[in-house]
Structure 1
Amino acid sequence: METALPFLFPVFFAAMWLGVTSLLGWWSGWYALAERYPDRGHEASSLKLTWQTGAMGPGVNYKHVLRLSVCQTGLRVGVMRMFGFFARDFLVPWREIKVKRSRWFWNDVAELSFGSTGKLVVLAATADRLAAAAGKQWPEAVKRK
């Protein structure tokens, strides 16, 4: 029995990893968003941001594992495969996105609401980069000084 333990640990670890990341994908609403807004995959992006941080659902943080891409028709959201093996990328059309700026503790953030299906909270600096790349398509009113 002792000789089987070294071989069982990697199997157990992989099963636990897949289980936990799948549960977080469900809890955050990722799977519902991927079903509602499937990624077309073929659309080129004008800006690709990798290693981004965001929060989805009730308390699910994706720290430095998100990929955000500005496309002609919308915002593509993805996660590094290792942290969401079953989490497919999704592409939300610009008309389905609403942006609300606020402050979370000591950070300025932007809440991106995706229709009635879910939301993604990112740092305001990240939202500013997305807005600059999206131009007039960015679904946020320009603040006048």
Structure 2
Amino acid sequence: MDKINILFLCTGNSCRSQMAEGWTRHLKNEQINVYSAGIETHGLNPDAVKVMSEAGVDISGQQSKHINEFKDIPIDVVVTVCSHAHETCPFFPGGCKVVHIGFDDPPRMAKAVAEKGGSEDEQLECYRRVRDEIRGFVETIPEALVD
């Protein structure tokens, strides 16, 4: 079976798309060539690295990448993981399928928790919840992406 090429896309390629890339590499490496990118690059979020490590997945070697770095790779499916990326997703030639699976923004949620006096662990719970939701989605692919 040929591997399919999936690109996870979010705004800054710092958290959600990085977690999705890590989970896909960890769980579906035999079936999927996985990439992640952003409409912008914001660097790898250290809290995303931390909660993925708690789950046994090391994403510390991944880097924040811009969508333009993938213009020459034949992507089969682009999965947008945030609304901004979905709304601004560039055109992909060659019949590439674009699917939107939105996940909450852990940094934004953690900031709200911090502003209410929440502990560091309570802030990390925002990341853990989204990490686990992303894992649940990744466990359904590639089948969930087939028409």
- Shared fold per TM-score greater than 0.5: no
Structure with the larger RCO, 1 or 2 (CA within 8 Å, 6+ apart)? 2
More helix, by proportion:
2
Q: TM-score, normalised by structure 1?
A: 0.28
